[in-house]
Amino acid sequence: MGIARLEGLLAWEAEIAAAERDARAFAEQFPWLPAAERENLERAYAADRLRYAEEVVDRAVERCRRLAARYRSECRRICARWAALCLSVTLAAALFAVVPAALRG
C-alpha cells in the first residue's frame, strides 16, 4: 500500500471518529429522548456527515484528475515546442556551418 493511500485511509478513519464524536455531542442535547432514539439520532447524524464528506472527497478527486489531465496536456505541448525550437536551432547552426564552406569552394 502506497504512502498516499495509507494517508488517505488514516484521514478517513479520523473523519469517521470525528463524525461519531460530533454525533454523540449532538444527541446529548436531547436528554429527554429515550436511549434507543438518541442512538438512532447519532447513527443518522454520523451517516449524513460521512455521506457529505464522501461527496466532498469525490469532488476533490475528480478535480485533481481534471487538473492532472490538463497539466499533462500542457506539458506535452510545451515539450513539443521545445523540441521544435531545439531542432530549428540545430538546423540553423548546421546551415550556417555548411553554407559558407559551400560558397568558398
Is 21 inside a domain boundary? yes
Is 102 inside a domain boundary? no
Is 86 inside a domain boundary? no
Please tell me whether the overall predicted TM-score, pTM, comes out greater than 0.85 for this model: no
pLDDT at 104 over 80: no
Is 45 inside a domain boundary? yes
Is 27 inside a domain boundary? yes
**Arithmetic mean of pLDDT over the chain:** 93
Is 26 inside a domain boundary? yes
Number of structural domains (the chain) is 1
State pLDDT tens for residues 26-46.
999 999 999 999 999 999 999
Please report, for the chain, how many H helices and E strands are present, in that order: 2, 0
DSSP letter string, 24-71 = HHHHTT-TTS-HHHHHHHHHHHHHHHHHHHHHHHHHHHHHHHHHHHHH
Could you tell me the pLDDT band of residue 85, with boundaries at 50, 70 and 90?
A: very high
Is 84 inside a domain boundary? no
Q: Are 26 and 46 in contact (CB under 8 A)?
A: no
Is 85 inside a domain boundary? no
Closest CA to 25 of 11, 46, 56, 2: 46
pLDDT of residue 105: 64
What residue numbers bound the domain in which 38 lies? Answer: 3-74
